């Protein structure tokens, strides 16, 4: 216990606080908070998707540049690296288009 009953300051603060609580009026309802929570969840999801998209575009661009730099696979040792690098950008683009369609359909 923080305040023994003999502590006048604690008693005054407590009495004042109780009165403040008694006269406090909250204007919004639980339903409003449910809506706000729902909106917040959607916004969080949208933020996450946007970050994934940004990262994906950067990866795709880096992979595309690396693939162009190496050129078309010639069957040598570099093919092992080149094929996935050349495939990554179109795959990412397809994925993004698919995701966008899914989001549009969900909305």
Partner 1 sequence: MEPSAFKACFEATRAPLLAYLTRATKNAALAEDVLQEAYVRLLNAPPRDMRPESLRSWLLTTATRLLRDHWRQHRRYGWWPWSSDLGDEQGPAEPASPEPPADLQAQERQLIACGFSGLSPRQRSLLWLAYVEGLDHAELARALGLRQGSVKVLLHRARQRMQQALLELENPFPGGGA
DSSP 75: S
To the nearest 10 degrees (0 to 180), the angle between helices 30-70 and 79-106 is 150
Stretch of 4-12, 65-73, 75-83, 90-98 contacting partner 1, by CB under 8 A: 4-12
Give yes or no for a contact between 56 and 24, defined as CB atoms under 8 angstroms apart.
Answer: no
Give yes or no for a contact between 36 and 44, defined as CB atoms under 8 angstroms apart.
Answer: no
70 counts as binding partner 1 under rule CB under 8 A: no
Binding mask 30-69 for partner 1 (x = CB under 8 A): x--xx-xx--xx----------------------------
Residues that bind partner 1 in the complex, under the rule CB under 8 A: 1-3, 9-10, 12-22, 24-26, 28, 30, 33-34, 36-37, 40-41
């Amino acid at each position: 216990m923080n305040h023994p009953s003999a502590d006048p300051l604690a008693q005054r603060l407590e009495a004042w606080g109780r009165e403040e609580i008694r006269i406090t009026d909250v204007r919004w309802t639980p339903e409003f908070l449910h809506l706000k929570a729902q909106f917040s969840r959607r916004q969080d999801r949208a933020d996450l998707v946007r970050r994934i998209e940004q990262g994906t575009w950067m990866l795709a661009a880096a992979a595309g540049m690396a693939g162009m730099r190496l050129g078309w696979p010639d069957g040598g040792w570099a093919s092992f690296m080149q094929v996935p690098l050349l495939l990554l950008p179109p795959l990412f683009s397809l994925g993004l288009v698919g995701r966008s369609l899914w989001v549009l359909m969900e909305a």
